[in-house]
Structure 1
Amino acid sequence: MKIGYARVSTTGQDYNTQLSKLQGEGCEKIFSEKQSGKSADNRAELQRAIEFAREGDVLVITKLDRLARSMGDLWAIVRELEAKGVAFKVLDQAGMDTSSATGKLLFNILGSIAEFERDLINARTEEGRQAAKAKGIKFGRKAKLTDDQLAALRGDVDSGYLTKQEIADKYGIARNSVYRLAGAKDAA
């Protein structure tokens, strides 16, 4: 039996092209998911596909990077499939057959390229993040209070006229945020 596996990284992406190719290949059962390819551990449908496969079956994917982005994950998946007697086929990379020496070489080359591509993406992302920080762009959630409001909040805390909950309500924040923002040591 041919078993298909399709994956896209984000909810904005569409795997209909992959599904169409897998159906055209004659896959009787197709597992698909929208999940990052960074690690094979967090992909439930991939795990289900591997568990579903039986000796003599073929796991079919459209591109090697749909299966994994690191050589470690690729080899772990292929070893697990081989241990079960399950073949592995990549539609868009002709000759990808891990049962032959040439197929193993191709597997390693393409897998290394996928891992290299992932490393480049991470490096470019970090470069962009650093460039943005250098321009003064701040990351994370925007502060709820302005500097003036923060100073007023600290004044309210120091005055002692309002309870911490009343101060929290006044500024629309959680009570524990009052302690954190006011610099109080105890959050009782």
Structure 2
Amino acid sequence: MVFGYARVSTQEQNLDRQIDSLKISGAEEIIQEKITGTKADRPELNRLLDKLRKGDIILVSDLTRLSRSTKDLFNLVEQIEKKGANIKSLKESWLDTTTPQGKLMFTFMAGISQFERDLISQRTKEGLAAARARGRKGGRKPKLDDNKKKAIYELYQQKKTTVKNLCAMFNISKPTLYKVIEQISKMKVS
């Protein structure tokens, strides 16, 4: 079975162009969706993935209809291949897992993506090691306990200490300071 998948981001947008190109290219059934591509949970795409059987093909007019990120695209193609199905993009001819060349090209692109993720991970680890060698710790700062939060609030209300000095005293950022003030204010009101 050849399935077409057409998606636009908003209800106001039109699917006609995609549907026409998918029909011309042989889609027997077209799944339509009006939802942003940045959402991981796309009900119609999930329904399509559930329907897939060995030998099926998913046609998309272009990759942006299927996925907004490389990582998401690779995960989707992996799910499709696990079911024994294939994917084909009308715009990006290199994405056609129905051919050996298409599979090779996709594998090549996946390898580049994995290489990029590995480099980022390596640089992060090297940066953390360099910071530790200089006596700094990585990761999030410890959370403020209730006593510190109350002290921040009291000092802030007294208006004798500047916001900058309060942040320095408690080793926190301005947004954190204002969150603490808001939390304590709400507690005092209730």
Q: After TM superposition, give the deviation of residue 5 of structure 1 in Å.
A: 0.4
- Compared CA separation, residues 38 and 105, structure 1 to 2 (3 A): farther
- Compared CA separation, residues 184 and 18, structure 1 to 2 (3 A): same
Q: After TM superposition, give the deviation of residue 105 of structure 1 in Å.
A: 6.2
Q: Which residue of 1 aligns with 2:16?
A: 16
Q: Which residue of 1 aligns with 2:81?
A: 82
Q: After TM superposition, give the deviation of residue 186 of structure 1 in Å.
A: 3.4
More helix by proportion, 1 or 2? 2
Q: TM-score with structure 1 length normalisation? A: 0.54
Q: Distance in 2 between matches of 1:85 and 1:104?
A: 13
Equivalent runs, 1:99-118 vs 2, <5 Å: 102-104=101-103, 106-107=105-106, 108=109
Q: Which residue of 2 aligns with 1:49?
A: 48
Q: After TM superposition, give the deviation of residue 96 of structure 1 in Å.
A: 2.0
Q: After TM superposition, give the deviation of residue 59 of structure 1 in Å.
A: 0.6
Q: What's the % identity of the aligned pairs? A: 39
Q: Distance in 2 between matches of 1:92 and 1:58?
A: 16
Equivalent runs, 1:76-155 vs 2, <5 Å: 76-98=75-97, 102-104=101-103, 106-107=105-106, 108=109
Q: Distance in 1 between matches of 2:26 and 2:98?
A: 21
Q: Distance in 2 between matches of 1:183 and 1:63?
A: 49
Q: TM-score with structure 2 length normalisation? A: 0.54
Contact 2:3 2:56 in 1 (8 A): yes
Equivalent runs, 1:157-176 vs 2, <5 Å: none
Contact 2:88 2:98 in 1 (8 A): no
Count of aligned residue pairs for this structure pair: 117
Secondary structure at the aligned position of 1:185 is classed as: helix
Gaps of 5+ in 1: 113-181
Q: After TM superposition, give the deviation of residue 100 of structure 1 in Å.
A: 5.3
RMSD: 2.6
- Give the AA of the match of 1:42: D
Q: Which residue of 2 aligns with 1:186?
A: 189
- Compared CA separation, residues 71 and 184, structure 1 to 2 (3 A): closer
